[in-house]
């Protein structure tokens, strides 16, 4: 052991050995520095720059091909790049997932037949984007025959380009979408360009992809118009034809609630106002509303609108779903729903089970916010409209509750900005902001 100690003994420490040690300590940073130089060498930089220039030239060439008329393709807003990347990564839905499983079990055939008595017999066909654009074209030029699909007065290259895009979307299953299609939300006359792609012939997966793009890149009013003229007719057609909804279209409806105001005004309200919404359609679309979180303001406005519109049987289904979300509703919404039920006091028709269930849900959730005169009217109502199982529960809830104003529930007022909701609804009940949704 003594020899080993003398061997490592240095008569002049921190001199020669210090130099050697310092050189060893500097060796690692030097190698790291050299590695950085290799990663960002001049050769590599030139390759990166060359590739960037090629990509830029390709983008400019594509934009020139797609945009020969710069005044027509006036860009209104930049598309969301992150959303485009997600769109390109789409792997497609399996064809075996042809419907949303589980909803068929909830449909009662007897109740479905009873609801048919409340459907409108004189409702016309749903208007699509093709109908709207064709009417506009024929108004300007009466030479077009009604049997031929008219074309808007656009550059020939634009028409050929988007006709080709439409053929691709007709058989689209997965993968990247044409850049020309993703550019449509930025086009000034986007409806005419979209019309050229023939949305009524898109594959279900293409409808899903298109909704993702348009919901992210269009404003509220434009998104509502896309929902009403493209998505809404397509969903109804698929349900009526197949007695179920394609899985891709079901996912599309969930994605469309990214803009809840556009969803209500473009899909739910037209469905109820049509007077032809059957129970199957109500259950399918209602399950979307049930599964997705919706802000209280949008739901309050939706309840107001549903309560005031002409009754269609299945309207009760949507009212029940919104009530089951247990929002702290403003008094105006509560009064509107109460008035909705009270107007059936003198109705001699046999009301469907879903009507009784929605009334029960209403009194269970908001019995303490009802006025005394409304409760008296509801008690008169259930004497004329009775259900052997549901009506006793409604009566019990009304008798075991306090009237509005007898005792304030401070906790509910603090937990929900009811005053803000009341003010917004008073000003303009239909001009509501779009808030991105998160699935439950």
What is d(CA 281, CA 314) in angstroms, rounded to the nearest whole number? 9
Predicted local confidence at residue 183, as pLDDT: 87
- Number of domains into which the chain is organized: 1
Does the pTM surpass 0.85? The reply is no
What is d(CA 135, CA 129) in angstroms, rounded to the nearest whole number? 10
Asked whether residue 332 is assigned to any structural domain, the reply reads: no
Alpha-carbon distances, residue 378 vs 317, 341, 344, 399 (angstroms): 19, 8, 10, 11
- From the number of C-beta atoms within 10 Å of its C-beta (0-12, 13-18, 19+), residue 64 rates as exposed
Q: Which domain holds residue 66?
A: 58-294
Find tokens 């108004």 and name the residue.
139
Answer whether 316's CB lies under 8 Å from 355's CB: yes
Answer whether 404's CB lies under 8 Å from 368's CB: yes
Predicted local confidence at residue 175, as pLDDT: 84
* Residue ranges for the chain with pLDDT beneath 70: 1-86, 88-89, 91-92, 94-126, 137-150, 407-440
Answer whether 253's CB lies under 8 Å from 264's CB: no
Of 79, 409, 354, the closest CA to residue 218 belongs to: 79
- Using alpha carbons only, what angle is made at residue 244 by residues 202 and 217, rounded to the nearest 5 degrees? 40
Predicted local confidence at residue 43, as pLDDT: 60
Of 255, 258, 304, 315, the closest CA to residue 282 belongs to: 315
Find tokens 């091909």 and name the residue.
65
Answer whether 246's CB lies under 8 Å from 204's CB: yes
Asked whether residue 69 is assigned to any structural domain, the reply reads: yes
Asked whether residue 315 is assigned to any structural domain, the reply reads: no
Strand partners, 292: 439
353-362 pLDDT, tens digit per residue, is 889 999 999 9
Asked whether residue 405 is assigned to any structural domain, the reply reads: no
Asked whether residue 161 is assigned to any structural domain, the reply reads: yes
- Six-digit token pair at 16? 């020669």
Asked whether residue 190 is assigned to any structural domain, the reply reads: yes
- Please state the φ and ψ torsions of residue 174, each to the nearest 5 degrees: -165, 170
Answer whether 275's CB lies under 8 Å from 117's CB: no
Longest pairwise C-alpha distance within the chain: 115
Residues found in the chain: 440
Asked whether residue 314 is assigned to any structural domain, the reply reads: no
DSSP secondary structure string for all residues of 198-243: -GGG--HHHHHHHHHHHHHHS-HHHHHHHIIIIIHHHHHHHHHHHS
Of 292, 284, 234, 294, the closest CA to residue 261 belongs to: 294
Predicted local confidence at residue 312, as pLDDT: 83
Alpha-carbon distances, residue 181 vs 80, 109, 203, 319, 339 (angstroms): 14, 43, 15, 37, 47
- For the chain, the C-alpha Rg in angstroms (whole number) is 32
Predicted local confidence at residue 289, as pLDDT: 92
Give Cβ neighbours of residue 340 (< 8 Å, ≥ 6 apart): 306, 307, 308, 311, 319
What is d(CA 83, CA 311) in angstroms, rounded to the nearest whole number? 39
Asked whether residue 18 is assigned to any structural domain, the reply reads: no
In the chain, what is the straight-line distance between the N-terminal and C-terminal CA atoms, in Å?
A: 72
């Amino acid at each position: 052991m003594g020899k080993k100690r003398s061997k490592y003994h240095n008569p002049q420490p921190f001199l020669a050995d210090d130099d050697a040690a310092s050189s060893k300590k500097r060796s690692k940073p030097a190698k790291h520095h050299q590695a950085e130089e290799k990663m960002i060498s001049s050769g590599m930089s030139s390759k990166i720059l060359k590739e960037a220039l090629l990509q830029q030239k390709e983008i400019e060439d594509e934009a020139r091909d797609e945009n020969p008329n710069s005044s027509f393709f006036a860009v209104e807003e930049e598309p969301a790049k992150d959303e485009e990347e997600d769109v390109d990564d789409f792997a497609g839905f399996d064809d075996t997932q042809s419907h949303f499983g589980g909803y068929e079990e909830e449909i009662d055939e007897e109740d479905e037949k009873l609801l048919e008595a409340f459907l409108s017999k004189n409702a016309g066909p749903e208007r699509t984007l093709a109908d709207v654009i064709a009417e506009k074209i024929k108004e300007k030029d009466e030479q077009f025959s009604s049997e031929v699909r008219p074309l808007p007065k656009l550059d020939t290259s634009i028409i050929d380009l988007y006709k080709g895009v439409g053929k691709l979307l007709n058989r689209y299953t997965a993968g990247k979408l044409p850049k020309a299609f993703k550019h449509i939300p930025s086009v000034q006359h986007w409806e005419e360009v979209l019309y050229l792609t023939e949305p009524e012939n898109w594959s279900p997966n293409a409808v899903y992809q298109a909704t993702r793009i348009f919901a992210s890149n269009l404003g509220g009013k434009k998104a509502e118009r896309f929902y009403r003229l493209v998505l809404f007719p397509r969903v109804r057609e698929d349900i009526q034809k197949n007695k179920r909804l394609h899985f891709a279209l079901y996912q599309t409806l969930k994605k469309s609630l990214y803009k809840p105001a556009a969803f209500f005004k473009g899909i739910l309200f037209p469905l109820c106002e049509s007077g032809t919404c059957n129970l199957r359609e109500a259950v399918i679309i209602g399950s979307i509303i049930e599964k997705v979180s919706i802000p209280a303001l949008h739901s309050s406005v939706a309840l107001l609108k549903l309560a005031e519109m002409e009754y269609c049987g299945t309207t009760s289904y949507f009212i029940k779903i919104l009530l089951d979300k247990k929002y702290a509703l403003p008094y105006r919404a509560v009064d509107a729903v109460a008035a909705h039920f009270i107007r059936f006091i003198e109705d001699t028709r046999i009301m469907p089970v879903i009507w009784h269930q929605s009334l029960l849900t209403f009194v269970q959730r908001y019995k303490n916010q009802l006025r005394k005169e409304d409760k008296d009217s509801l008690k008169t109502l259930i004497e004329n409209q009775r259900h052997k199982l549901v009506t006793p529960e409604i009566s019990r809830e009304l008798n075991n509750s306090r009237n509005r104003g007898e005792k304030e529930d401070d906790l509910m007022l603090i937990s929900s900005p009811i005053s803000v909701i009341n003010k917004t609804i008073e000003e303009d009940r239909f001009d509501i902001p779009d808030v991105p949704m998160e699935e439950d």
